């Protein structure tokens, strides 16, 4: 066993640029975390914790603005390959999200670190399933451009574990619960049961990941004497105005720990945003009357 703490080893996995090594390391750390005593899990890195505007990743895919990426249709194999690549990029980022939570946030209960290593390991499995699919169709991760919006938000929330738990698993990753079942159904309609089945596995395990974020968000709200619903709503308004979109997978979100009231808050924020957008042309171009 090396002299590095578990959290230091999470950092080394986080900055590793090779996806296969990163996945192997995340899986090994998760397995090791099941047997380590709590004190060993909580031991901080020996060096000051760094901000990471960019985690370890390969030279490809090339990163572009989201608006520059083309839409991916499930009607053709080329479209399905692009779709699988987009999901693989999300899962690759999600490995880093789990590792970063373990590395970054001090003074957490030992189960916090176990939970986020579980996330990293399972996201690694998801990435590998998708990359295997791509390779079966003559492609691999890096062959298509991608965007970096998810990690940009991770970087923007590295100052506060409560904000991170609210916005990454409960907003951005929960969005996967909303859209994945519909995409899987379209894939089945076009005869691609293999990719649909992979998305089914991802959907089921992502419910658990969102639940982890929900549980630790509420834990930190309780520690600070904050109302969880009010705090979540305030953070949505501060950080995610204009970025909340339905429809919402209410059964999946409820299973992941959302309350019915929180789902209604999401709908209300979306409706408020749409109302503002509808009124903008009238504000910019008032009637001559």
**What's the confidence (pLDDT) of residue 280?**
59
CA angle 117, 119, 121 (to 5 degrees): 70
**What's the confidence (pLDDT) of residue 279?**
66
**What's the confidence (pLDDT) of residue 68?**
87
Higher pLDDT, 73 or 13: 13
Is residue 285 over pLDDT 50?
no
Q: At 281, is the pLDDT very low, low, confident or very high (cuts 50, 70, 90)?
A: low
d(CA 210, CA 154): 15
* Residues whose CB falls within 8 Å of the CB of residue 69, separated by 6 or more in sequence, listed in order: 86, 145, 146, 147
Q: Model confidence over 147-159: pLDDT tens digits?
A: 998 999 999 999 9
Is residue 282 over pLDDT 80?
no
Q: Model confidence over 7-54: pLDDT tens digits?
A: 999 999 999 999 999 999 999 999 999 999 999 999 999 999 999 999
Is residue 64 over pLDDT 80?
yes
Q: At 85, is the pLDDT very low, low, confident or very high (cuts 50, 70, 90)?
A: very high
pTM listed for this prediction = 0.93
Q: At 284, is the pLDDT very low, low, confident or very high (cuts 50, 70, 90)?
A: very low
CB 142 within 8 A of CB 60: yes
Residue indicated by tokens 């176990």: 114
Percent of the chain scored above 90 by pLDDT? 84
Least confident of 162-166, 201-205, 239-243, 252-256: 239-243
Mean pLDDT on 87-95: 97
């Amino acid at each position: 066993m090396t002299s590095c703490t578990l959290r230091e080893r999470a950092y080394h996995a986080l900055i590793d640029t090779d996806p296969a090594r990163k996945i192997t390391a995340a899986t090994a750390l998760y397995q090791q975390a099941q047997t380590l005593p709590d004190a060993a899990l909580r031991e901080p890195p020996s060096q000051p914790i760094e901000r990471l505007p960019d985690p370890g990743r390969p030279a490809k895919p090339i990163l572009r603005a989201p608006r520059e990426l083309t839409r991916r249709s499930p009607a053709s194999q080329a479209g399905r390959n692009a779709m699988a690549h987009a999901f693989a990029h999300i899962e690759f980022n999600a490995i880093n999200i789990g590792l970063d939570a373990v590395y970054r946030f001090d003074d957490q209960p030992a189960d916090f670190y176990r939970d986020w290593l579980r996330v990293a390991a399972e996201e690694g499995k998801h990435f590998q399933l998708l990359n295997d699919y791509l390779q079966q169709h003559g492609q691999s991760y890096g062959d298509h451009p991608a965007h970096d919006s998810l990690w940009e938000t991770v970087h923007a929330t590295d100052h506060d574990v409560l904000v991170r738990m609210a916005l990454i698993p409960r907003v951005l990753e929960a969005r996967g619960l909303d859209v994945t079942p519909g995409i899987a159904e379209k894939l089945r309609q076009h005869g691609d049961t293999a990719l649909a089945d992979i998305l089914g596995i991802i959907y089921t395990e992502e419910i658990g990941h969102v639940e982890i974020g929900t549980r630790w968000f509420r834990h930190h709200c309780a520690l600070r004497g904050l109302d969880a619903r009010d705090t979540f709503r305030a953070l949505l308004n501060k950080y995610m105005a204009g970025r909340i979109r339905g429809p919402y997978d209410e059964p999946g979100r409820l299973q992941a720990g959302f309350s019915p009231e929180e789902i209604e808050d999401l709908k209300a924020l979306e409706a408020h945003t749409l109302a503002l957008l509808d009124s903008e042309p009238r504000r910019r171009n008032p009637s001559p009357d």
